[in-house]
Amino acid sequence: MAAVGIARGLGVTLRNLFRRKVTTQYPDAIRPKPVRFHGRHVLNRYEDGMEKCIGCELCAGVCPARCIYVRGADNPPDSPVSPGERFGYVYEINFLRCIFCGLCVEACPTEAITMSNLFEWSFTDRKDAIFGKDLLLVEADGTPRHKGSPYFDPESLRESGGWMRATSPSGDGDYVGVGGWSSDAGYGVRPGEAGQRAIVDAPETTAEDHA
């Protein structure tokens, strides 16, 4: 009886010997990220290159880790940075404090801050953990800026803001799949999830052209 018990255990490990292994060979193989992945934040632009951030500080206000520092300033009349009156003059996130809860993304009224799929970055100095607009703001064509990684999959950069879109109905069943977010430079209006029902309106018609 005892020998049978031991033999059964030995059998399990022997069977495992011939099974497909479960380890993901990162970085040689990269696990696909889910749409809602909470990666590093990016500051988005409208399709005409205008910044979406209006410096309202809602993100800083709701951040439970208090890692966001925003200062707004009036747009210069001759060369406005954002479509409204004001723009985010200073925008810093301290990634040593950030807990990636995504509340800033939900709070942002203009979808300026969203979460990308970037997660491979490091720093050797605490000061480097504070990312300013120079790193957070996307390029004019909508590509997130990053310090690069030999293993990074550039395709996955196209996936961004999934958490913002997933939370946009805010629990209202009537608004599931309705959209409500603006278009991004280089990508247009990104499709949302179908949710409980198929998207009622085509994404194009729900786009509000802020620019």
Partner 1 sequence: MDWVDYLIRSVVAVVVFAAILGTCTLLVWFERRGAAWMQVRVGPNKAGPFGLLQTVADAVKLLTKEVFVPDSADPLVYRIAPLLSLLPAFLALTIVPFGPGFHIGDRYVPMQIADLNIGILWLLCMSSIAVYGYILAGWSSGSKYPLLGAVRQSAQVISYELVMSLAIIPVVIWAGTLSTSGIVEAQSRYHWYVVPLIVPAIAFFVSGIAETNRPPFDLVEAESELVAGAITEYGGVRFMMFFLAEYTNIITISAITTTLFLGGWNGPILFGTIAGWSVVPLWGLFWFLLKTGVLLFVFIWVRVSLPRLRYDQLMTFGWKIMIGVNVAVVLAVSFVIALMEQGALPMFWAPPGR
Partner 2 sequence: MTQTHHSRARVIPPSVLRPVTQTDEGSQEMMRPGETNVVAVRRQRGIITNADFDELLDAPEDETMIINMGPQHPSTHGVLRLMVELDGEEVLRVQPVVGYLHTGMEKTAEDLMFIQGSTNVTRMDYLAPMTNELCFSLAVERLLGVEVPPRAAAIRVLMCELNRISSHMIWFATSGMDLGATTVMIHGLREREKILNFFEKTTGLRMNHDYIRPGGVAADLPDGWERDVADILDVLPPRIAESRELLDDNPIFQRRTQGVGELTREEALALGVTGPMLRASGVKWDLRKAFPYSGYDQYEFDVPTWDTCDVWGRYMVRMAEIGESVRICRQVLDSMPRGDYRVQDKKVTPPPRRRIDESMEALIHHFKLFTEGFKVPEGETYVAIESPRGELGCYLVADGGSKAYRQHTRGPCFVHVHALPAMMVGGLVADAIVTIAAADPVLGEVDR
Which two structure tokens, joined as six digits, stand for 104? 């800033």
Nearest CA-CA partner of 102 in 185, 194, 165, 34: 165
Question: Does residue 89 interact with partner 2 by CB under 8 A?
Answer: no
Could you give the 3-state DSSP secondary structure of residue 174? helix
Instruction: Report the residue from 1, 4, 21, 134 that binds partner 1 according to the rule CB under 8 A.
Output: 21
Instruction: Enumerate the β-bridge partners of residue 73.
Output: 87
> Please, which residue, 13 or 196, has the CB nearer to partner 1?
13
166, 186, 187, 211: residue in contact with partner 2 (rule CB under 8 A): 166
Using CA atoms, how far residue 140 sits from 48, 149, 200, in Å, is: 8, 21, 31
C-alpha to C-alpha distance for 53 and 113, rounded to whole angstroms: 7
Restricting to residues 25-44, which ones interact with partner 1 according to CB under 8 A? Answer: 25
Give the amino acid at 5: G
Per CB under 8 A, residues contacting partner 1 are 6, 9-10, 12-14, 16-17, 19-23, 25
Per CB under 8 A, residues contacting partner 2 are 1-2, 4-6, 8-9, 11-13, 16, 22, 34-38, 56, 58, 61-62, 64-65, 99-103, 106-107, 109, 111, 115, 162-164, 166-173, 175-176, 178-181, 193-196, 206, 208
